[in-house]
Amino acid sequence: MVFARYVLVLSVACMFNMQWGWSQTKSYTNPMLKSDSELISRLANSVISDQTKASSLGDYNRLFKLQLVANRWKDAFNTIQVYQETYAKGQWAASTTLHYQVYALARELADSKQLNWLDAIRRGYDSCLSFIPPKLQYGFREYKRNYSPETSSGYEEFIERLAGQDTLNSGEAITLCIRNLEKEIYETFLPAYDQVLRQHDSTFFDITEGIKIKISEGVDLSALVVRKKDSKRPLPVILVYNIYPSEQDFSCAKRSALHNYVGVSVNTRGKRESKSELLPFEHETEDIFAIIDWISQQPWCNGQVGMMGGSYLGFSQWATTKKIHPALKTIVPSVAVNVGVDYPMHNHIFMPYMLRWLYLVTSDSLINYPLFANEKYWGKQQMDWYKSGVAFSNFDSLEGKRHPIFQKWLKHPSYDSFWRAFGPNPLDFSEIDIPVLTTTGYFDGDQVGALTYYRNHMRHNPNAEHYVVIGPFNHRGGQHYAVRNVLGYKIDEEANIHIHQLAYEWFDYVMKGKPKPAILKDKFNYQLMGTNTWRHCANLTELKKDSMLLYLGSKQNNGRCQLRRLPSGEERSVFLEVDLADRSDSSEYKLSGSWMHPSVSSTLYSDNSLIFESLPFTEKVDLNSVLSGKLRFRTNKQDFDLVMKLYELLPTGEYFPLSVYLQRMSYARNSQQRELLVPNEWTEMPIGSAYFSSKQIKKDSRLVLIVGVNKNPDWEINYGSGKTVSLETIKDAKEPILIEWSNKSWVSLGVSTCKTP
């Protein structure tokens, strides 16, 4: 999410999780970390020879690193190319692994040509650039966070554990080899590599760092401006406003310069040289207006400014629309966070992740990535809280600490004036007359937020020039480039697009008068999974013109309930009972963020839920899972958090995730005012703000709908007492929640009738 909720740096992940499909039956003599490099190299060669052929992304990632440790430079270089192509189309992912390729070439050149280390790196870098398209040659400073002494914290425990062992299993041997490689690269390669990169940048770009932009008395921000050396006239400017100061600021600005714009990256208050107080989300409207005003007065600006970026950066663009500067000509918000809608609470349910993110951005003037990336630490924090049953408001004090922003946010569980102040209101939406391009993904954690902006804009300004592109992308793919495999699903080739390229085509269209991007055949553009085609509609509402109604039915002999095409005559019920005080399930949860979008799998996690299953489809159906409908139920509690998950059950027995709906029921009717349930009285509630996807359902497939109560440590726990949920404890659970679902409950799904390309 904001913030890369679902992003893990591969090298860090691989360092501590070496079990993926590699044989664990072999054992190796333990050389220990401080042994000479020759022993480590022999160990790597032994591990490589004992493993089966690489086939998955994780396999290739481990293999090329082991080949580097084994001094097999050419093999490693070739495997990296295979890895890049397996991960994403062409050279789109080159920036994440280029430093490994340069390292391989430099080591080979230093050995064979007897070049000094700096010259070997320079030659290796020039060789690597020769096969990367010029407009992709911008992201090569992002390697720094892949490893540092801080990110390996916990590795010392691993070494201590190995100290008493004579032998290592395969996982231990792989971890030891790769840790040795990362240490070598960090200490002896990256300093020289950084020098080469800076020399290369100075040849092609004019880079001005550390510019102070005065916002008001006592408030200034830190800016970076990048122009191509051969740029002689004023140009349009692409602004990226970022709360995550890092080397990526340079990448974003260089990317714009390579596309013949001026690239400007500005960090929020409290970042880099700014001494102002950092308050996430709270000052973007006024600050960005002042930034654009400053940009518009610079001699290198032709009076036109566009904005781009994803997640928090997407939110910041919508914040500017509350007070649009005349020089702002367009925005391209990708996977945009919608504050108070999908973060830091999703449909009014707060998430432990919010504290993790706050420590990422508020710890210092840059970002605290080592702490953020520590999966073991945060997993333990969440599980300790879950098992203890203490109030969610105490989640930030498990180690005796309190976070003031965390506590401030918890005081606003409704979508009240606090949250509404951050983004455009109905009047603002009605006056947004600049072109907008929204991008998001079916598996993007911020899709609900991104599409809520879109729906509100179109509701209050039906003639707005607002385009949407949505496909089988996760949070990263919806703002950068598609990856070939998402959650176990190999995407269609037509879905394999580069969001950055699309954004610059859009900027060329708006600010340079060039043709509109070809994919934008209508206002709402979506990829129909399984057909290798894009579909195009005037708006999202068109996808509901033809609907399929499905009713919750009675239990069958297999323990599952019917998901019926036709309503039943007589009202009947099915019952769900959940013990919210039970913690015996704590070992079953995976705190990886994948709960919202499970992987394609032959198993189905359905605890605390009922499973409703349809009859097989007799023909293919183009289904748009814009979940809506009405639920009729009664319960013994005053509130609960509903979770619904929709799947296609394929003829192969695999479950393909289509949609998720997570909702605090006391806010289902009114997001601004809590309305508690009346225990044991029948209630009808609408379904809204569910995840959207579009897929061709295969003949003989079934639809499976899980309907249950959320009791997952990825979210605060609602015990149903009617108190403020963040203050409830496990003692408030009392008797189990009992929900009686009526067969008058139904869901509606769209069936495609929109025109094909």
| Pair (404, 449) in one structural domain | no
The percent of residues above 90 in pLDDT, for the chain, comes to: 69
- Classify the C-alpha dihedral 578-579-584-590 as positive or negative: positive
| Pair (576, 603) in one structural domain | yes
468, 485, 520 - which closes a domain: 520
In a domain, 427, yes or no: no
Q: What is the predicted pLDDT for the residue at 630?
A: 96
pLDDT category at 135 given cuts 50, 70, 90 is confident
In a domain, 209, yes or no: no
pLDDT single digits (tens) 218-268: 899 999 999 999 888 999 999 999 999 988 899 999 999 999 999 999 999
In a domain, 529, yes or no: no
The percent of residues above 70 in pLDDT, for the chain, comes to: 91
| Pair (235, 269) in one structural domain | yes
| Pair (355, 338) in one structural domain | no
In a domain, 525, yes or no: no
Q: Which domain holds residue 147?
A: 10-201
504, 520, 536 - which closes a domain: 520
| Pair (452, 389) in one structural domain | no
Number of domains within the chain: 4
Residue 467 is part of a domain; what is its CATH number? 3.40.50.1820
pLDDT single digits (tens) 148-167: 554 455 566 677 777 777 78
Is the model more confident about 718 or about 187? 718
In a domain, 535, yes or no: no
pTM of the model: 0.92
| Pair (591, 614) in one structural domain | yes
Cβ pair 309, 479 in contact under 8 A: yes
Four-point Cα dihedral 675, 679, 684, 688, nearest 10: 50
Q: What is the predicted pLDDT for the residue at 589?
A: 61
* DSSP codes joined into one string, 445-491: TTHHHHHHHHHHHHHH-TT--EEEEEEEEETTTTTSB--SEETTEE-
Cβ pair 605, 598 in contact under 8 A: yes
| Pair (180, 221) in one structural domain | no
Residue range 21-26: mean pLDDT, rounded: 55
Residue 554's contacts (CB-CB under 8 Å, 6 or more residues apart) are 561, 562, 568, 572, 574, 743
Asked whether the predicted pLDDT for residue 433 surpasses 80, the reply is yes
Longest Cα–Cα distance in the chain:
86
pLDDT category at 557 given cuts 50, 70, 90 is confident
Q: What is the CA radius of gyration of the chain?
A: 27
- Do you find a cis peptide bond into 344, omega within 30 degrees of 0? yes
Q: What is residue 600's three-state secondary structure?
A: coil
Q: What is residue 532's three-state secondary structure?
A: coil
| Pair (228, 252) in one structural domain | yes
Q: What is the predicted pLDDT for the residue at 588?
A: 64
* Rounded Cα–Cα distance for residues 352 and 655 (Å): 28
In a domain, 156, yes or no: yes
pLDDT category at 19 given cuts 50, 70, 90 is very low
Cβ pair 65, 181 in contact under 8 A: yes
- Classify the C-alpha dihedral 372-373-376-379 as positive or negative: positive
In a domain, 43, yes or no: yes
pLDDT category at 66 given cuts 50, 70, 90 is very high
| Pair (109, 197) in one structural domain | yes
End-to-end CA gap in the chain: 31
Task: Please provide residue 634's backbone torsions phi and psi, each rounded to the nearest 5 degrees.
Answer: -145, 150
Q: What is the predicted pLDDT for the residue at 6?
A: 30
| Pair (398, 485) in one structural domain | no
| Pair (16, 55) in one structural domain | yes
Helix axes 37-50, 57-69, angle to 10 degrees: 140
| Pair (72, 132) in one structural domain | yes
Asked whether the predicted pLDDT for residue 685 surpasses 90, the reply is yes
Burial of 81: CB neighbours in 10 Å, binned 0-12, 13-18, 19+: middle
Q: What is the predicted pLDDT for the residue at 15?
A: 30
Asked whether the predicted pLDDT for residue 702 surpasses 90, the reply is yes
In a domain, 526, yes or no: no
Residue range 308-319: mean pLDDT, rounded: 97
* Rounded Cα–Cα distance for residues 640 and 637 (Å): 7
Cβ pair 714, 605 in contact under 8 A: no
Residue range 424-432: mean pLDDT, rounded: 97
Q: Which residues pair with 663 in a beta bridge?
A: 642
Residue 701 is part of a domain; what is its CATH number? 2.60.120.260
Name the amino acid, one letter, at 415.
Y
- What would the 3-class secondary structure string for 666-702 be? HHCCCCCCCCCCCCCCCEEEEECCCCCCEEEECCCCE
201, 231, 263 - which closes a domain: 201
